[in-house]
Amino acid sequence: MSDLGVAVWGAGWVSGEHVKAWEAVPNCRVVAIGSRKEASARKVAAATGVDARIYADEVPERAYERMLQDPDVNVVSICTPNHLHAREGIWAAQAGKHFCIEKPIAINLEELRQLRDAVRQAQVKTVVSFVLRWNPLFETIKALLAQNAIGRIFYAEVDYWHGIGDWYSGWEWVTKKSSGASAFLTGGCHAVDAIRWFVGSDITEVAAYSTRCGQDYEYDPNVVAAVKFASGAIGKLSASFECQMPYSFNIDLLGSHGTIRGNKLYSKTLLPGQTDFAEIPTVLPDSGDVSHHPFKGEMAHFAECIRRNCESHCNVEDAYKTHEVCIAVDRSVATGQPVSLPLA
């Protein structure tokens, strides 16, 4: 089996985890690391101990273009700030490179559609870094749902509560509308992806409200949305960047025959004699630190998709729907009206 050559683009906080994850996948090796600043790319290479070609330029697009032309590069991992993702994904597709792309994949509907269309046209493989899909609690919940542990889900809640402050390396760009975009596009998208992944039905309507506590952000960093699903289920999603507490990713799924609350299960079908919630020991999505995120599982899955020539369950086509929901939430906040999906 020939090696997959990987290029990691954008050398900041998350990129080192991408490098380490790719290096841990058999028959994959990181052959290039690129960024705006050469020193940043070299720092990630040194920290991960990878002997990769370095691509950097004061005009970052030039370095990216050169990197895409590197014949040893089969796959690109896009780790730059939010507002750069869509166009970098489009260029990767046009260069015929498979790509892993950090969330959000786009920060407005126009570029979201352009990215989806470019991937469709180029027929490259993609994975979007909704990395929690490889978290052990997520895998446990999916396995329970596949065994009909709680029956038909009629109500669901997922919250992304991540107190972000100036400790964050991306603080400057994440607080701005032009680069961070919104609370749902930046972080709440993880909650949208999770609720879609668990409920297994498209969201057809959202009604959302937002608020702010301080003045750090150009957009309201706390948002709550009520949602309706095509299946008839209803739900609630929220994102808060101003919460003063440890990182929390709450998952509540209420079904016709049982309930899942994080790692707690109440199941009339699997455990008919049960009198209280059973707690499942597992790795929880309880840290915002990128070193805790299961990137290895994500990259191993994606390498397998490329080798087998099959689509990831977490590709750009699927993430399109998650991002459409985030954009609908932002529109609902802006207009004070419910917004129907898919967006016109």
Of 34-42, 91-99, 134-142, 234-242, which part binds ligand NAP (CB under 6 A)?
A: 34-42
Nearest residue (CB) to ligand NAP, 152 versus 177 = 177
Distance (Å, rounded) from C-alpha 137 to C-alpha 130? Answer: 14
Residue type, 212: R
Residues 150-209 that bind ligand NAP (CB under 6 A): 169-170
Distances (CA, A) of 147 to 15, 102, 136, 154: 36, 31, 17, 17
**What minimum distance in Å lies between the beta carbon of 143 and ligand NAP?**
22
Report the residue number whose CB is nearest to ligand NAP. 12
Of 24-32, 78-86, 227-235, 307-315, which part binds ligand NAP (CB under 6 A)?
A: 78-86
According to CB under 6 A, which one of 33, 75, 131, 153 is a site residue for ligand NAP?
131
Residue type, 219: Y
Distance (Å, rounded) from C-alpha 295 to C-alpha 192? Answer: 19
Distances (CA, A) of 309 to 3, 153, 154: 15, 33, 35
Under 8 Å between Cβ of 143 and 136: no
**What minimum distance in Å lies between the beta carbon of 120 and ligand NAP?**
23
**What minimum distance in Å lies between the beta carbon of 126 and ligand NAP?**
14
Q: Tokens at residue 172, please?
A: 């400057």
According to CB under 6 A, which one of 5, 12, 235, 258 is a site residue for ligand NAP?
12
Angle between helices 38-48 and 15-24 (to 10 degrees): 40
Nearest residue (CB) to ligand NAP, 59 versus 146 = 59
According to CB under 6 A, which one of 48, 77, 129, 263 is a site residue for ligand NAP?
129
DSSP bridge partners of 254: 155, 259
Residues that bind ligand NAP (CB under 6 A): 10-15, 35-37, 40, 60, 79-82, 84, 102-103, 129, 131, 169-170, 290, 293
